[in-house]
Chains A and B, each alone.
Chain A
Amino acid sequence: MTEFLQQLINGLAFGSILALIALGYTMVYGILRFINFAHGDVFMLGAFAGFYLAPKIARVLPTPSIGSGLAVLFAAMLICAAIGVVIERFAYRPLRGRPKLTVLITAIGVSLFLEYTGQFVFGAAPKSFPRLIPDYPIAHVGGLSVTSDQIIVLSVTGLLLVALRFIVLKTKIGMAMRALSFNPEAAALMGVNTDIVISFTFALGSALAAAAGILFAINYPAIDPLMGILPGLKAFVAAVLGGIGNLPGAVLGGLIIGVTEAFVSGYISSTYRDAIAFGVLILILLVKPSGLLGKKEVEKV
């Protein structure tokens, strides 16, 4: 039982990081119908932004402390939001309306560019991420070990999800996003500025990925330029699992993948962990291709 709860908590912590990345995939897919392959690398950039910002912020704010942790988090989110907008503006926007595969290949190109430029600029060797938030001792209940970092991951994710929900449901730009994903032509006719909404979507998704990057680095404090590949792919699977284009689905999918991985590595073998997500992906596409919460689309002939 203790083991079970332990794996569940580990799984939820990693799953909520995947959920944050998955949201970016699903939002972009909902509006542009394409897989932003480079999204996982924005997650990596978020972690590196935190790595380089932490010493600067430490000069102003006492570190480690909750204040400095939050400052690094927000700064990294802002930086990555800008990077996301730039990527969309220069790599994807010129290709709008072109065949899907052209855009996908471009996205792969952007992904490789970020990874290898990362290796060039940051160095290929893993770096250890500084401690931003003190490790508060938490009572060990009956052999169960929950770190304060895990609590932070869960609570920050929770707060970000509430904020996202507010933006998407209650603000004007959120409404425009939903309109665009529902019917792009109609939205454009109704005066929605497509370019701005798409830029905003990229900013929002990239900011969430950056937050995920920081949270990941807090929990698993070794970062390297290729760290985004696997979590990126897994998060994409999470988005598909939940039903791509569906925001609650992405969160649900992320948590399911995270928990499944934790159980497989805890009970079976950790070497198979990385194949889990893909196994889940193939299974879901065989059984329910539209995902858990997705709607079935009928092709028009």
Chain B
Amino acid sequence: MTSPSENPLLQTERVTIRFGGLTAVSGLDLQIGRNELIGLIGPNGAGKTTVFNLITGVYQPTEGTILFDGQSITGCKAYRITARGIARTFQNIRLFSSLTVFDNVRTAFHLHLQGDVRHALWRGRAFWAEEKAIATQVLELLEIFHLEKFRAAPAKSLSYGDQRRLEIVRALAARPRLLLLDEPAAGMNSSEKTDLMRLIQFIKGKFQISVLLVEHDMQVVMGICERIAVLDYGVKIAEGRPDEVRRNPKVIEAYLGEERTHDA
């Protein structure tokens, strides 16, 4: 499966962003199929996180369009894009540090609330019923990821790996159809990485969603991704199955170039 289905979940068309004179991402065409696990790799500074920020509306593209489920989300605000069904995690963990583990997940349920301010103020039967239903779902999610024992602990008190998992849980609570994971393996040891790979595949199957994974760690990317796109200096230089990408001379050059500068 080198190209996604006829009806991609996400499609970027000639997406370009410039910061002053710097073109961070240039003419990017990327398709993500339904229930597909795709990896986005590239040397440092290739523009991977910028692609995330473009898809999730943190940055607006200078040129090009982004379609989600056939509809344009170009120029939409971040919270609207999340409401459409794209959720993400962050490279440098961004949990709500003063809230508990439980509340971190609960905030994401905000999107699916029936009631609004008036419910919260009146605190009638409908309000309590909804809060109770949300609490049940939050706990279910936490249980799946073995975080329920920490539910009352402040998010920042968790271990690094647990914080990363909590970020994934929080993103899932927004009930996305596309989950964007930004370097989830960063800072993990190899056994944690193996767990993470299993977890990502489990999520994809259990929630029937697509996953776009930005990752530095080749072991993880090559191990689980069905398809990989490679960015270098904001340009997509290769795309295909893991074994194809691994042999692609352009990819090898981009990475070797990086190692050479590292050695220097």
Contact = CB atoms under 8 A, between A and B. Distances in A.
Secondary structure type dominating chain B contacts: mixed
Contact of A298 (B19, B49, B90): B19
A301 interface: yes
Contacts of A298: 19
B58 A301 contact: yes
A301 B19 contact: no
A103 B58 CA distance: 29
Contacts of A301: 49, 53, 58, 90
A301 B19 CA distance: 14
B162 to A, nearest CB: 22
Interface in A263-301: 298, 301
Contacts of B53: 301
A298 B49 CA distance: 14
Nearest to B182: A301
A301 B58 CA distance: 8
A301 B214 CA distance: 14
In this complex, the interface size class of chain B, counting residues with CB under 8 Å from chain A, is: under 10
A298 to B, nearest CB: 6
A263 B90 CA distance: 51
Interface string A164-201: 00000000000000000000000000000000000000
A298 B90 CA distance: 17
Nearest to A295: B20
Contacts of B49: 301
Interface string B58-75: 100000000000000000
A11 to B, nearest CB: 35
Interface in B83-98: 90
A298 B19 CA distance: 8
Interface string B213-235: 00000000000000000000000
Interface string B11-40: 000000001000000000000000000000
Contacts of B19: 298
Interface string B185-218: 0000000000000000000000000000000000
A211 to B, nearest CB: 37
A301 B53 CA distance: 8
A301 B57 CA distance: 12
A33 B27 CA distance: 36
Interface string A208-239: 00000000000000000000000000000000
A298 B58 CA distance: 11
A247 B49 CA distance: 34
A101 B58 CA distance: 25
Nearest to A298: B19
Contacts of B90: 301
A298 B20 CA distance: 10
A65 B49 CA distance: 65
B87 to A, nearest CB: 15
A123 B58 CA distance: 54
A298 B53 CA distance: 12
A298 B24 CA distance: 13
Contacts of B58: 301
A185 to B, nearest CB: 16
A298 B62 CA distance: 14
A298 B18 CA distance: 12
A46 B210 CA distance: 65
A102 to B, nearest CB: 15
A84 to B, nearest CB: 35
Interface in A86-101: none
Nearest to A299: B58
A115 to B, nearest CB: 34
B212 to A, nearest CB: 16
A127 B159 CA distance: 62
5 contacts: A298-B19, A301-B49, A301-B53, A301-B58, A301-B90
Sort A-B residue pairs by CB-CB distance and give the 5 closest, nearest first.
A301-B58, A301-B53, A298-B19, A301-B90, A301-B49
Interface of A: 298, 301
Interface of B: 19, 49, 53, 58, 90
